[in-house]
Structure 1
Amino acid sequence: MDQQIIARFNDTILHKAMRRYGIRKDQIKPLDAFESFIYEFERGGKDFILRIGHSLRKSEALIQGEVDWINHLARGGVSVAQAIPSEKGKLVEVIDDTQGGQFLATAFIKAKGQQPWVAGWTSTRYENYGRLLGQMHALAVDYQPVPAWRRPEWNDASLNFIELYLPKTEAIAHQTYEAVLKHIHALPKDPASYGLIHQDAHQNNFFMDTDGTLTLFDFDDCAYSWFINDIAIVLFYISMDAEELGFKDSASFTHEFMTHFLRGYRQAFTLSPAWLKEMPAFLKLRELELYAVVHRDFQIKGVEHWILESFMQIPGFDVNNGGHIWIANFMKNRKTRIEQGSSFIDYDFESLM
């Protein structure tokens, strides 16, 4: 989280947000978070989530666009964590930080179930995952937001993590990024293939109920992009767990996962199969973006570049922190793979057409 935001946050801000949503002190508890302050609270026997962000990161209009999109999906029957109004009926509550900025509070119904790796994956649940994304893309086709609330395009300057965070010394990674951008910019855009997507629908951003129902949340990164990008991002993250899920490599997992995922997806939405050939480009885009973000987060802590390949050497590194282990696995040989031009997943995606 931005250190400026941390410095401006205090109990007064929290208590103001609590009052606006009718939350008592004995009803709320903090949760781990990355870019915002997140709390769980209980009201009327039901569980909710309170999120407090800041205008330094996202404007009020962008957050209005986010919650409007979420509730549009909920009204359309998509399993998402719906945004709820404050005591005054607002979906976004603005709280002045007395330093020229605003904290922005929003609340959501807490998703039912547990983390999917705890609940357990099956082929049917892969299919449910695909159906969920397909339902969302189907509703994106005709969605028309309030113009002032429109979410950013995928290539908005604020989302250009490579230019923002990746050192210029990573010359080959920058060259690779430019080549990927040139390819992606040439792709056609039409309502049947391009619209508002989640852009981060990985396993940390949904819960799975006992019946296999997935409930998606954290739409903080939603933006306009190609629907195939949403699918590539899903595969990007879950493929990193291929060995834990019992597969010898990411290619064999990809075949199993995508077969079931696409079966569910196609039950809800028809995306031209020709888009599957673009999966490698969007996988490479996410690989480079994450590579840049890791540099950002660890440079902030004064970690030298060479140590990014050897996270276990970092003083104070918590080996029990699953997130850190995941990042360590991602960074293993990552620089070499990028500079050698290796595909993120060596798989013939056109075979899935």
Structure 2
Amino acid sequence: MEKEIEILFTEKIINEAVDRFQLKKDSLKKLGSFENYVYECIKDDNSYILRFTHSSHRSKAQIESELDWVNFLKEKNAPVCGPLRSSSGCFVEEIQATDGSSFFSCLFEKAQGSPVKVTDEQFNEKLFHQWGKSIGRLHTLTEHYTLPDHIQKRHELIVGFDTEFAPYLPSDKVIQKNAQDVIAQLNNIPKTEKTFGLIHTDLHLGNFFYDGETMYLFDFDDCGYHYLLSDIAIAIYYTCWFNDNTDEENTNLIHQFIPAFISGYREEHSFLAEDLRLLPLFFHLRDLELLGVLHKKWDVSALNEKQQKLLDDLYSRVKNQTPIVQFDIEAMVVHLHS
């Protein structure tokens, strides 16, 4: 979290949220603080997740829009962690900071199951299949989601690139040119009801738990209107990014991952094998997004060794337009047709 936000996030704000959601005092356990402050907490002897979002990151209307969709998915029996109302009946509670800005607090169900790492025995084709099935389920359900009149529409993520990520990219001319090219290519992809809609956009290993059969999905903070293919690209991208594999090992892994993942996806939603040819473009987009957000969040003049390597890898891929993983796309297209 940015230093200026850290200063504003006081115990008084935390305690106010505890009171409004009627949580057990002194039960909070901090889980994260990258874009939001996230805590595990206790209410009526059960565990929940309490999230604080600063108004510089999201407006109240944007958060209400996120939670309306998540609540819709929950009501349709999707395996998502739904929001809970406060004692005043609100999904979002606004708590003012000392400078006049606000923190928005929300309470969510805690996911069943447990997190999965790439080194776990459960990280296998059964998981990949369920991963695809879960995303396909969201895409199908959302075709029937109607935005209520009082709810603000989530933004289009490609349009939002110019304000959320582009201002923080390095001034390097090659990086700037490649970013413009990627956005231009994305804008040329036709949008239809079957290819474009409201999606999670960030369903990687860190945003679901798994109990061996079912995935429980959470962290819809970045949800927005985008090509459905982006959800598939993100799953592949982070499957490679979250390990220490060589390029060859990642290529072999993705040749296992994609057939199992798409098989699960197709149980819930249609998928054209030819769309695999667009995956490298979405890999490039995520590289650019990460390059922007990390420059925003980190002091690049004081990086540790791990951070420096991560940024160096991103610089290299963006400047050379090299996807995070390379595999035989044409062979995979043929395989998915068979």
What is the TM-score of this pair, normalised by structure 2?
Answer: 0.90
Match in the other structure for 1:316: none
Match in the other structure for 1:335: 315
> How far apart, in 2, do the equivalents of 1:159 and 1:107 lie?
31
> How far apart, in 2, do the equivalents of 1:214 and 1:105 lie?
25
Match in the other structure for 1:167: 170
Among 179, 197, 201, the alignment partner of 1:177 is 179
Match in the other structure for 2:226: 225
- Once the two structures are superposed, the pairs formed by residues 61-100 of structure 1 within 5 Å of their partners are 61-100=61-100
> How far apart, in 2, do the equivalents of 1:243 and 1:103 lie?
37
> How far apart, in 2, do the equivalents of 1:167 and 1:144 lie?
39
Matched, 1:273 2:244: no
- Once the two structures are superposed, the pairs formed by residues 133-282 of structure 1 within 5 Å of their partners are 133-147=135-149, 148-157=151-160, 160-168=163-171, 170-209=172-211, 211-241=212-242, 248-282=248-282
Identity, in percent, stands at 29
Partner-residue secondary structure (3-state), 2:191 = coil
- The CA deviation at 1:247 is 8.8
Task: Tell me how many residue pairs correspond in the alignment.
Answer: 330
Partner-residue secondary structure (3-state), 2:271 = coil
- The CA deviation at 1:100 is 2.3
> How far apart, in 1, do the equivalents of 2:243 and 2:257 lie?
10
Match in the other structure for 2:108: 108
User: Which stretch has the larger CA shift, 130-139 or 170-179?
Assistant: 170-179
Q: Is the 8 A contact 1:192 1:271 kept in 2?
A: no
Alignment RMSD (CA, Å): 2.2
Q: Is the 8 A contact 2:284 2:321 kept in 1?
A: no
Partner-residue secondary structure (3-state), 2:80 = coil
> How far apart, in 2, do the equivalents of 1:79 and 1:271 lie?
21
Consecutive unaligned residues of structure 2, counting only runs of 5 or more, are: none
Q: Is the 8 A contact 2:287 2:317 kept in 1?
A: no
Match in the other structure for 1:128: 130
Partner-residue secondary structure (3-state), 1:155 = helix
> How far apart, in 1, do the equivalents of 2:313 and 2:30 lie?
36
Consecutive unaligned residues of structure 1, counting only runs of 5 or more, are: 313-324
> How far apart, in 2, do the equivalents of 1:218 and 1:95 lie?
21
- Return the letter of the residue paired with 1:164: P
Partner-residue secondary structure (3-state), 2:157 = coil
Q: Is the 8 A contact 1:247 1:253 kept in 2?
A: no
- Decide whether aligned partners of structure 1 residues 4 and 158 sit closer, same or farther in structure 2, where only a CA change above 3 A counts: farther
- The CA deviation at 1:41 is 1.1
> How far apart, in 1, do the equivalents of 2:224 and 2:218 lie?
15
Q: Deviations over 1:117-145 (max 9, x none)?
A: 15731211110010000001111222222
Partner-residue secondary structure (3-state), 1:149 = coil
- Return the letter of the residue paired with 2:71: N
Matched, 1:344 2:324: yes
- The CA deviation at 1:243 is 5.2
Q: Deviations over 1:49-84 (max 9, x none)?
A: 111112121001100011111111111221111111
- Once the two structures are superposed, the pairs formed by residues 288-307 of structure 1 within 5 Å of their partners are 288-298=288-298, 300=299, 302-303=301-302
- Return the letter of the residue paired with 2:262: L
- Return the letter of the residue paired with 1:235: I
Partner-residue secondary structure (3-state), 1:268 = coil
- Decide whether aligned partners of structure 1 residues 162 and 51 sit closer, same or farther in structure 2, where only a CA change above 3 A counts: closer
> How far apart, in 1, do the equivalents of 2:242 and 2:100 lie?
43
What is the TM-score of this pair, normalised by structure 1?
Answer: 0.86
Q: Is the 8 A contact 2:240 2:324 kept in 1?
A: no
> How far apart, in 2, do the equivalents of 1:301 and 1:258 lie?
35
- Return the letter of the residue paired with 1:35: E
> How far apart, in 2, do the equivalents of 1:81 and 1:239 lie?
26
